[in-house]
Chain A
Amino acid sequence: MPVLQPIGRMFLSFLEATGRLTLFTLVSLSHCVRPPFYPRLIGRQMLEIGYFSLPVVGLTAIFTGMVLALQSHTGFSRFSAEGAVATVVVLSITRELGPVLAGLMVAGRIGAAMAAEIGTMRVTEQIDALTTLSTNPYKYLVAPRLIAGVTMLPLLVLVADSIGVFGGYLIGVYRLDFNPASYLTRTWEYLEIMDVVSGVVKAAVYGFIIALMGCYHGYHSTGGAQGVGGATTNAVVSASILILTFNYVITALFFSS
């Protein structure tokens, strides 16, 4: 049947990819918890993900906070409810926009870099060389990135939350003429611990997704520079889609009951 054949083939290759990704995830996780560990490599990745992403994430957060304040003020002034601006800003930032935007920015920055680096190592046989030098590539390349991703993204998001709220404050106080003290009170008043916690949990999950997709696509890249380019694109696109998907799932888990 020439019509059914391609469908069947697509379905099979989908199953194959799913199986391969699952296996990759399990093997990688098992290497995250078994010695030997590489503290130098973990440190380097933490610096790369946590510290060097600060400018990008900070800029994204401050402008998002500012625009949120402006837009929600426009909306709420129509109901004479301008007082809600501070609350809307802090809730949107901590629950959704902080983790999602930081996740997407880091996916573009770090996920791409990971896929390109590991992909180049794959096509130039450096990964083969690692195994012949009694070093497991999962331990040496994948585990440090996963550990750094899971630990650094939550910290980045806490910073992004603070900067985002500060951006809202700037607009609120200097543009919309709120009283500084009452803006801050409004910010704290309705903020619950779960709002921040859910954002931090999301961040850890996104950090895992970004590092996993970067490593997975890099590790399985084939065919020279073109293959590495494809792996980089796939890493960023799949990480972004997974981030948005898991954003919904985690939100539903935390707040639907």
Chain B
Amino acid sequence: MTTPKLELTDVHKRFGANRVLDGFDLSVGRGESVVVLGGSGTGKSVMLKCILGLLHPEAGSIKVDGEETVGIGQRERDRINRQIGMLFQGAALFDSLPVWENVAFGLLAQKRCGRRSARDRAVEILGQVGLGERIADLYPAELSGGMRKRVGLARAVATRPAIMFFDEPTTGLDPIMSDVINNLICSSVKDLGATALSITHDIASARKIADRVAMIYQGRIIWAGAVAEMDQVDNPYVDQFIHGRAEGPITSGMAG
């Protein structure tokens, strides 16, 4: 068996008395696209931040390319993060920089090209997320929420990272634009051979971009399987979630 690109084993993370991740296991193969589903506040964003080293789990192991990343030093962390692109849930664009510099930030930081060609590349990627050259020189504050999200997505994929994290890529987008973004994620995985780990509440989007789906509930993965199995599964939690029913084992708002 080949080593998975990402492997989380028995990860624990809590904030005070709030156990957010409680024995979390997940593995993502090379070139695979996994979608994590789960209710609001179940720790999906926290999981991504643990992998990126922005939060430090109390226990457990997180391996990237078979290499342990929990407790490593800054230098190794920088090397590992270099191959990861992340779309933050709130986009997290740099307000002091124009849109194109946001998108090209990783390219410029890694000194892969000069400012002029970085701008050309940024405009090209903005085109792929459905944004015209006109907005390249605007500032993030001048964009709508959905536009910001797409700029964040463009920034995440600009360096063509081997691993991509998307925290709710289609939230706040219209159905057509959602599909454009889904296609972009699919093509990043299929054509560039990237590994993708996405979080979404959008079941339609999950069906389109996922090879495999995992469902998080109360700090751990309660079900994981191929996207085709999602509809036949007799797990009542998964069933309730994908059909969006208020009645079921997941009690509204009180999860966790």
Residues of A whose CB lies within 8 Å of any CB of B are 117, 120-121, 124-126, 128-136
Contacts and interface: CB of A to CB of B under 8 A. Distances in A.
Interface string B144-173: 000000000001000000000000000000
A134 B92 contact: no
A132 B105 contact: no
Contact of A132 (B52, B93, B94, B96): B52
A120 B93 CA distance: 12
B105 A128 contact: no
B219 interface: no
Q: Which of A126, A128, A129, A131 has the most CB of B within 10 A?
A: A129
Contacts of B88: 125, 128-129
Interface in B1-29: none
Interface residues of B, number: 23
A135 B81 CA distance: 10
A206 to B, nearest CB: 25
A73 to B, nearest CB: 49
Contacts of A126: 92-95
The secondary-structure label for the interface of chain A is: helix
B109 A134 contact: yes
B123 to A, nearest CB: 19
B54 A128 contact: yes
Nearest to A133: B106
Interface string B62-85: 000000000000100010011011
Contacts of B92: 124-126, 128-129
B86 interface: yes
B110 interface: yes
B56 interface: no
Nearest to B78: A134
Nearest to B45: A125
B106 A124 contact: no
